[in-house]
Amino acid sequence: MKTSVLLVAAVMLVLSANAFSQGDIEAGRSKAAVCAGCHGQNGNSTNPVWPKLAGQHAFYIEKELRDFQNKKRLDPTMAPMVAGLTAVDIENIAAYFASLSSTVEAASADKIKLGEKLYKAGKADNGLPACIACHGPNGAGSAPARFPRIGGQHAAYLAKALKDFKSESRDNDHQAMMRDIAGRMTNKEIEAVASYISGLH
């Protein structure tokens, strides 16, 4: 079972390497200048509650920006930032951030054991799937399968995202997939897996 999951993950990662955005990176660089205040000059935010966008799959950035515009995802800071963006702007911004290199965090030593177990094996007693099945061994996700990159992301941001899915205050996940997964986790497990993921690269 574990071997087949790893094989599927490996195939998805190979496919994702061949998926490129059609956006204009230079146009995106100019348009994304305003994003630097929170997400950093190079897409790597310094505040751990704000997500890194560098290296994220373009499709995911596009989806989230559209969800903010359509109020499928609510955030008082992001709402005014996306209000005036056109479809082309969104595509270009996504291409720009996808072209950047992401930094990596360091997992907390006291959380690695539990975090690694959950990431690689899930939890059989309540049907929690392994994160690795969708997000891959190093958290790179898969563009063709529409799974976002999470490796190296700030642990605080990952934990908040999972807790928001768990409470269903965030509900823009495909077919409630992340709400179901996060709902099967305790807050301690969320903190542990978020820390482990932050150190993946």
Q: What are the tens digits of pLDDT across the range 139-178?
A: 999 999 999 999 999 999 999 999 999 999 999 999 999 9
The string of pLDDT tens digits covering residues 100-141 is 999 999 999 999 999 999 999 999 999 999 999 999 999 999
**Whether pLDDT at 70 is above 70:** yes
pLDDT of residue 22: 85
Domains of the chain: 2-13+104-198 (1.10.760.10), 21-98 (1.10.760.10)
**Average pLDDT of the chain to the nearest whole number:** 92
The string of pLDDT tens digits covering residues 6-48 is 444 444 444 444 444 489 999 999 999 999 999 999 999 999 9
- 77: CB partners within 8 A, 6+ apart: 38
The string of DSSP codes covering 36-67 is HHHH-TTS--SSTTS---TT--HHHHHHHHHH
* Average pLDDT score over residue span 47-71: 98
AA identity, residue 113 = K
d(CA 57, CA 168): 24
Q: Which residue has the tokens 């190979």?
A: 14
